[in-house]
Amino acid sequence: MQTHELVAHAAHPPLSIRRVEARILSMTDAWMRVRWRIDGPDKLVIPPFAGRGRADELWQTTCFELFIMPKDGTPAYSEFNMSPSERWAAYDFDDYRDGMRQRDFSREPDCVMRSGQSIAIFDAALPRVQLPGPPCAIGLCAVLEETGGVKSYWALTHTKDQPDFHDPACFTAGLARTRAA
């Protein structure tokens, strides 16, 4: 699967983070595995372990996000937020920021953060049965907090004066309909 370089929003530059990449590692009948790689994480704030469970407002600190919009002609999409704390959230929207509701998730995602001086890796595995199916457009994003409360907002692209991961123009990657491995 393709690696995507994310771009920091110009209005919110990072302190020491030099590069962020995201990629879908694999898609099987059971799991979708996604990885974010951060170069220069020495000032990265990693939320403390909180245990698995649903939580809102994860974007207030370091958080990794995935948006999925089925290519079925409707503006509906889903948002998945995952934190190094192991907390997560899943929402469905009827249209751009409209009709928000929690997405049912009977099996929790698996999230793992590994961090060193030069790179950090965040891996998430989401249960495939609970995700919209391909073909679809996707957005890969991250909110990265660094020391002093500095937040940078990373996405495939930014089209507005302020960060807006919900903007359909940010859903520039895609998932094709393929046979699962």
* Mean pLDDT, range 103-128, rounded to an integer: 93
Is pLDDT of 68 > 60? yes
* Mean pLDDT, range 54-62, rounded to an integer: 96
Among 57, 60, 62, 58, which residue's Cα sits nearest to residue 45? 62
Is pLDDT of 181 > 60? no
> Could you tell me the pLDDT band of residue 54, with boundaries at 50, 70 and 90?
very high
* Mean pLDDT, range 55-84, rounded to an integer: 96
* Mean pLDDT, range 50-78, rounded to an integer: 95
Q: Please name the helix (run of DSSP H) or strand (run of DSSP E) that holds residue 21, with its range, or none.
A: strand 19-27
* Predicted pLDDT of residue 132: 86
The strand pairing partners of 174, in sequence order, are 137
Q: What does the DSSP assignment read for 45-66?
A: --PPP--SEE-S-GGGSSEEEE
Is pLDDT of 133 > 90? no
pTM: 0.94
Is pLDDT of 85 > 90? yes
* Predicted pLDDT of residue 178: 58
Q: Which domains are delineated in the chain?
A: 3-161 (2.60.40.1190)
E strands, 40-178, are 53-54, 63-70, 77-82, 87-93, 101-102, 110-115, 119-127, 136-146, 150-155, 173-175
* Mean pLDDT, range 157-171, rounded to an integer: 96
Report the phi/psi class of residue 134: left, alpha or beta, with left for phi > 0 and alpha for psi in -120 to 50.
Answer: beta
> Could you tell me the pLDDT band of residue 177, with boundaries at 50, 70 and 90?
low
* Predicted pLDDT of residue 180: 45
Give the span between the Cα atoms of 109 and 49, in whole angstroms: 15
- For the stretch 1-18, pLDDT in tens is 789 999 999 999 999 999
* Mean pLDDT, range 143-172, rounded to an integer: 97
The values of phi and psi at residue 109, to 5°, are -65, 155
- Beta-strand pair 110-115/136-146: unpaired
The strand pairing partners of 102, in sequence order, are 91
Cα end-to-end distance, the chain, whole Å: 13
